[in-house]
Structure 1
Amino acid sequence: MRPIDKFTCYNSEKISFDADIFVRYYQPLLGLNGFALYQFLRAFPSQTGRLSELLNQLDYGMNDLETSIDKLSALKLLDIYDDHGHIHFVLYSHLTPEVFLSDPLYKQLLIDKIGQTAVGKLMLSTEVSGKKTSKKFSDVYRVSELQEPETGLSTQTGEQKLDMGAFQIAMQQQGIHYVDETKDILALYALSEKFGLDWYQLFKIAEVTQNVDHSMNTANMSRRLITQNQKQPKLVDFSKAEQALIRTAKSGRPEVLLAQIKKRRFDGHPTQKERQLLARLSRDGVSDEIQNMLIIYFLEIRGYSNISDYIEEQANRWKKDKITSAELAVKWLATYQSKQAEKIKQKGQPKKTTAPVGSQTPEWYEPAYKNETSEDQQAELEKIKRDTLKKMNGGD
């Protein structure tokens, strides 16, 4: 978006608005900038204008404007359409308190912003006393009175939402618990939306990536999903030795592999610090196969007797380079070894030395040069030379 872009606003005269509801439920999520933008679009004097008008009226920069627009669209308060530099804003009404709090994602976002106690008070304010006597849809309308949907068309309306209730029941059955309930739930919604997963698909990922103490590891879940959606090299593309290395990395727990290598190579055992390092890597979302490749890299290839804090630096480097599987790690190691071999080769070559000053003929030297100065000119030059020396020596 650019300040000179035109925009058109739709539905501004059709939406319903309650300032008290908006301040209590939406402003904590939108911030003051988002709140001001929504209010201004509702009351914009004409339906069309330029973005520069919004910037001038609201008195903030382009980045703040784009962030506010993104937040409003994420909370379903507006839709954005870009028609080659002409922006179309379609405004929508806010939800009622009951509907807002019945949405588990919105409720969790609000808890993250204002706390459980404050949200609990909001929930109490929406409760109504008495017995609910409303009728169900099926109590009033018979199926025969409804028009059957066309074949092949889905009867589901709106976006599919994560069934957090079913997810949490599965967690209880398998003994999995949150590390930070608010942050973990928000991460689950984000992963579900980003990768298009229902509650069961997401739970199976949570199950295989949980920590040793059965706590949920959303960082591990994200890493696993990225790996699954990332194009991986085929096993047949590697040598037999590399294939064996990949299978080793994928087949066991890091603690077991570390103990095996230390016993075989050094007749030793993992230290307490090494166990803590591996536990920290797991909490940071480093998968078992990547941890195994790191252990092999430091103990087998680099020849270290212990894995040290450097393993975390290498893990971060691989994370930055998007090394998310044993196959990609083996390719990285092959490239690393190739570079090391090239460095050793270059060190073995004699350095090119520069000849001492005076040992080479200057480029400006011309052997065919011939002095063609006449005798009279030489006599004149000698006279100038004598006069100059006489003045330098203080003579008259």
Structure 2
Amino acid sequence: MAEYFNGVKPSDGFYVKSNYNYTHVHQDILISLYTPLIGTDAIGVYLYLSQFNYHNEIEAYNHYTIMNDLKINLSSFRDSLDLLEGIGLLKTFFKTNQQEQTFVYMLEQPATTEQFFNDPLLSVFLYQQIGKARYISLKNRYKDKSISTTEYNEVTKSFTDVFKIPKLSELEHQDDIQIKLDTKSKGLDLSDVQFDFEMLELLLNNHLISKEILNKQTKEVIIQIATLYGITPVEMKSIILKSITENQTISLQDLRKHARSIYQIEHEGELPALELKREKPKSELNDSQQEVDSLLSWFELLDTTSPIEMLSSFTKSEPTTAQKRVVEDIITREKLPFGVLNILLQYVMFTKNMQLPKAYIEEIASNWKKLKLTSAEEAYHHIKKLDKQTEEKKKERINTSNNSFKLKSIEKTPEWLLKQKSSEKPKDEQQKNNESNAAFEKRKQELQKEMEAFWKEGDH
């Protein structure tokens, strides 16, 4: 998607649109809640672009305007757009033809304070960024302090109680007018995040918990929590079991609390921080570096992909129920990380003609658990090390075999053909000494030639 941005030119046109009506409330939220996360430069670009939306410009501005007004280059502008897109405040659209290319920057409505503080990712990242005292101060600032109406009875009249309903015939010939309506913030875009709910449902089923407990809202929260804390389906199963209420539903508040507690225990009380992901352009990497990066990306993919999903992709077919059971048993018993188990399964399929023998897999899994392998990269290098050792032993056996062959050949060498010792001659051969010297020499030479040929064959 991002490749075309590398070629954006100052002369490229742009439009700005918005899906909501900007107010001072939005400005306050942007400055106090979003600025600590993405910085003043990105928020400044957002506020700057908003001016172009007010006038509904028919003709596009070009990027020279941005560069001149903000005194920045297009690279810095692109960096700010990345931050705005990532945090959910901007969407970018692109169109090109032979003459020109044009962009549309769609300003998205910021989250409301209630949405922001209830969002598992945004609230945790803000807490980590500004600290406990400032976080509590901001949360109290936006707390609803108005009078509660829960103990009151509503007596408001409806529209039809007060007004007459107009006849439809009076409205039929009116022109259609399109009015821009405010839309609620959709929060962070996690649509490309994959979580193995099939594995989770399988694990919960072992505890007699129906998959119906995972409704749409619960799945959305699970994806948010899993993304924030790096939680696997196996770990999520344990968290869910702790979060089930008496009514056999999942308490989303408990779900978040238990996930946060587990993360803090494993990270000495720290919470995850918002980090930028920077990638070097491919042109800046040599072939060797690209190969290394490709391998690292493969490891990262295996570390975050469930074994069931990996098998489906690897074999291009749905894993059998027996195969899923084997994977589930190993995950439950050995608790191997996804990356390690994925390498194990691929290794077994390569060595066993795409088969997955249960006993063989369990034996390797048990051994790898003892070795405390924690990632796909570690498992991969372990296999490479084993292959190298196996190859060296194979060469050693071949060399030993060759040496043994030569030694045996030397032991079998008929020395009596090279040296005729009078003490070793039997009586019947002594009688043959009367043969002519010429015949003896001739026979001796023939035997020597045969021996030379034998040695040459033995050397090979």
TM-score with structure 1 length normalisation?
Answer: 0.46
TM-score with structure 2 length normalisation?
Answer: 0.40
